[in-house]
Chains A and B, each alone.
Chain A
């Protein structure tokens, strides 16, 4: 039986629960697990104050309940599987280095910020700052995959350096702002100011977009590598019709206030 943490008491204020991570819960029995420290606001509490702990870690952790006030789940994890049933609070998988997080619900802001590896799959919507840098640092995610089946809000992939972000629904403003490189694929619509300040990297959308005047139209073409990416994400369960696999895309180069070596690809026909 895998390890299961079920929320029995909803916290009044957010709980900082970076201990909920395979690296930290490994090799501990139920009572030791329940005694692990978490911060409830500015007060130190125990996991057991909020969660019922059952089972033993065997490579997989399940977390259940309305976790919208539980922050930092899976932060910094390096391996293993973390399955979350329910909405989850901010900083999910922040600084994650490896392993896999699957969320059957929505996640709040700052999910996967500054991740360096691993994979996060979000079945619902993501908040602001998905896969971004923490304020002050120059570099966001440097690797890994973030797969969102729903929508994402502002500044998805901000300052991203490497890796892949897939957003099945729409993204709001400033998608890929200050991006350094890497790939963002948005199957829905994007908000305004996409790719503002981007140096390199690729942002792709299946819809038309309102681009900044610092992006210039280059050409309409069919990038071969795109078929590879789209086939891959199709396998992850996204709806992509064949027209898109072999279709033509407008290439917009920018941001010309920076290096001008980034690209925004918009599906044409």
Chain B
């Protein structure tokens, strides 16, 4: 363990502190960035290299029962990609959904030091915490699925917003989550109980409640509690042609309050339901350009193998009909649904190419990269290992044209991707992979290199081929620990769990408990997660704590 380090002569990209490629020293002491360190500090010579904060993945699926079910579903994928240990790191298996150890190390190898698991049913929080603890190097947290929670829906139906907010706060504390996640709000109930349908419109009422009411309730609650990251929503009608109207309505429901739209690419489709989709990226991005309260991550589709895993069970059931592969559909009591389907995105297929192009359109049309965050919705749009290639697609117009020429031209003609000449700068890449997600998550110590920030730093050799450059930083530091030096692992590290503890009125337990005793398979006392599941962790402050 090195206690103090000085990185010298590197070109620094730190958008939060408005530093755009300036050569300056970065000093590190006790895991944080400081103004200066003594001369005796370890020096890293970074001449000709680019220094950025560590990457922050705002939306991925890396831990919990559905991820594990995905692993079990694809043994052939692991067999072909063993991940040997080194003197300091542990072994595992790779593939689309790597084992826990491999997930942590591969994120680190790419220069990512924080990642957020995006969908965990409350009942599965224990399992998720165990797996996250076993995911090395990176700091992590998870979003807890609350939008199809029957108890919470009942409170919304009865107009008990204050108690609803207390209950959400209770759930955040009980599960140690980072923010509430909404997946196809209101869509699970019509799917379950042999009804086999879905909500088709944001104002369609099922059992007396519409998706819009649920979204509104969460947006208001998150705003009142001043959560560091607002409600994180996977919109209704995801993946269906014509769903861009739902997406626009969802964003309008938030008014001027904050809202994060997850993997928005999957929600930018024009056309009619059941027919070929068209791109409505321009309409969506126009709304976002005018509304700084909205953030989104793109959920870029990358050609090759993917594994669709979602809490949106009816969507997964639809996908299983497309490629007739193995599939999983499941139900978590009163809380959520789940579906898993292996999927391959192919360049010659119209729909897949359209999805790919829509993702790129979103990136290239945005006026404010702070609002549009890089993700592939790992592993839904492709593995996180595709990020370097995606960065190259954004930074290198020539490469993008080459790739465009290789895919379905009918789909390309339906988008404006061929006319978009924009090339991202390193500064903008630092925004969409580091500063932007950190700010959207309300992580004040991440995504920048100012004094007080966590010393999560990546140092890349500056190269013409940006895919190569972002594939393997020469140095990766996590909390000041020299994890990777000269492309080799030098030290292992256990990251922290990031979670929130919003205050709530204890009396809400008296309202929740009778519901539990009537409908849950778990005793109320056994439901909240106790301290034995908490290892290194950091509470991110909310307005009320």
Contacts of A122-147 to chain B: CB distance below 8 A: 134-138
What band does the interface of chain A fall in when counting residues whose beta carbon is under 8 Å from B? under 10
Residues in A with CB closer than 8 Å to B74 are 136
- Closest chain A CB from B540 CB (angstroms): 39
In Å, the complex CA distance between A136 and B73 comes to 7
Q: Is the interface of B mostly helix, strand, loop or mixed?
A: helix
Give the number of A-B contacts (CB < 8 Å).
Answer: 13
B interface residues, tally (CB under 8 Å): 7
Contacts of B69-93 to chain A: CB distance below 8 A: 73-77, 79
Candidate in A134, A136, A137, A138 with the most chain B CB atoms within 10 angstroms: A136
In Å, the complex CA distance between A137 and B73 comes to 10
In Å, the complex CA distance between A137 and B326 comes to 10
In Å, the complex CA distance between A138 and B77 comes to 11
Q: Which residue of B is nearest A114, CB measured?
A: B76
Residues in B with CB closer than 8 Å to A138 are 325
In Å, the complex CA distance between A135 and B76 comes to 7
- Closest chain A CB from B310 CB (angstroms): 21
In Å, the complex CA distance between A135 and B79 comes to 10
Q: Is the interface of A mostly helix, strand, loop or mixed?
A: loop
In Å, the complex CA distance between A137 and B77 comes to 8
Residues in A with CB closer than 8 Å to B73 are 136
- Closest chain B CB from A71 CB (angstroms): 15
In Å, the complex CA distance between A136 and B76 comes to 5
Residues in B with CB closer than 8 Å to A134 are 75-76, 79
In Å, the complex CA distance between A134 and B75 comes to 9
Q: Which residue of A is nearest B77, CB measured?
A: A136
In Å, the complex CA distance between A132 and B76 comes to 13
Residues in B with CB closer than 8 Å to A137 are 76
In Å, the complex CA distance between A246 and B79 comes to 46
Q: Which residue of B is nearest A135, CB measured?
A: B75
In Å, the complex CA distance between A137 and B79 comes to 10
Residues in A with CB closer than 8 Å to B76 are 134-137
Residues in A with CB closer than 8 Å to B325 are 138
- Closest chain A CB from B328 CB (angstroms): 14
In Å, the complex CA distance between A122 and B104 comes to 45
In Å, the complex CA distance between A134 and B77 comes to 11
Residues in A with CB closer than 8 Å to B75 are 134-136
Q: Which residue of A is nearest B75, CB measured?
A: A136
Interface string of A179-199 (1 = CB under 8 A from B): 000000000000000000000
- Closest chain A CB from B406 CB (angstroms): 26
Interface string of A126-170 (1 = CB under 8 A from B): 000000001111100000000000000000000000000000000
Residues in B with CB closer than 8 Å to A136 are 73-77, 79
In Å, the complex CA distance between A136 and B74 comes to 6
Residues in A with CB closer than 8 Å to B79 are 134, 136
In Å, the complex CA distance between A138 and B79 comes to 14
- Closest chain A CB from B99 CB (angstroms): 15
In Å, the complex CA distance between A137 and B74 comes to 8
- Closest chain A CB from B97 CB (angstroms): 13
In Å, the complex CA distance between A134 and B78 comes to 12
Residues in A with CB closer than 8 Å to B77 are 136
- Closest chain A CB from B191 CB (angstroms): 26
Contacts of B291-338 to chain A: CB distance below 8 A: 325
In Å, the complex CA distance between A202 and B74 comes to 29
Residues in B with CB closer than 8 Å to A135 are 75-76
- Closest chain B CB from A108 CB (angstroms): 19
In Å, the complex CA distance between A137 and B76 comes to 5
Q: Which residue of B is nearest A139, CB measured?
A: B76
- Closest chain A CB from B252 CB (angstroms): 44
In Å, the complex CA distance between A136 and B77 comes to 8
Interface string of A76-104 (1 = CB under 8 A from B): 00000000000000000000000000000
13 A-B residue pairings within 8 Å (CB atoms): A134-B75, A134-B76, A134-B79, A135-B75, A135-B76, A136-B73, A136-B74, A136-B75, A136-B76, A136-B77, A136-B79, A137-B76, A138-B325
Q: With A134-B75, A134-B76 given, can you name 11 additional A-B contacts, CB distance below 8 Å?
A: A134-B79, A135-B75, A135-B76, A136-B73, A136-B74, A136-B75, A136-B76, A136-B77, A136-B79, A137-B76, A138-B325
Q: Write the residues of chain A forming the contact surface with B, with a CB cutoff of 8 angstroms.
A: 134-138
9 A-B pairs closest in CB distance: A136-B75, A136-B76, A137-B76, A135-B75, A136-B74, A134-B76, A134-B79, A136-B79, A136-B77
